[in-house]
Structure 1
C-alpha cells in the first residue's frame, strides 16, 4: 500500500510506484469514481488524448470539408435505409 498526503488546496501527488504500475505519464488524466457508501475511490487512467492522436491522421486529403461531405453521405445512407424498413 502507498500513501500520499492532501494539501490545504486539496492537491496530492501520485506516488512513483503507482505511476509506474499504472503507466501514468505527464498529460494523462485521472478519472475519479467515488463510492460514498463504502468511502472508497476508484481511479482510472485516461491516456493523454492528444498524444494518442499524434501521427494518426497523416492523410493530407483529410480536411474538414472532406470529412463533412463523407459524414453527410453516410447520414443520408442511414436515413434511406431506415425509410425502407
Structure 2
C-alpha cells in the first residue's frame, strides 16, 4: 500500500478509533446492554472501518492518477476495491 505520511496517520487513527469502539461493543455485550445501544455502537465501528478503507483507496487513486507509470495499483484494481466497500 502506497501512501503519504499524512494519509497513513489518518488511516491509523481511524483504525485505532474503530478498535476502541469494537472493544466497547464487546464490553456492552458482555454486560448485557440494550440491543439498540449495541447496534448503534456496532454501526459506528462499521463506519469507521469503511472510512479507513475509503481513505486508503482515495490516496492510492490520487497516486495512480498523478504518477500512472509507477508500480502501484491500476485504476481497475482500485475500482474493484472501492466497490467492495460500497
Rg: which structure is higher?
1
**TM-score, structure 1 length as denominator?**
0.28
Q: Which has the higher helix share?
A: 2
Query: Higher relative contact order by CA 8 Å / sep ≥ 6: 1 or 2?
Result: 2
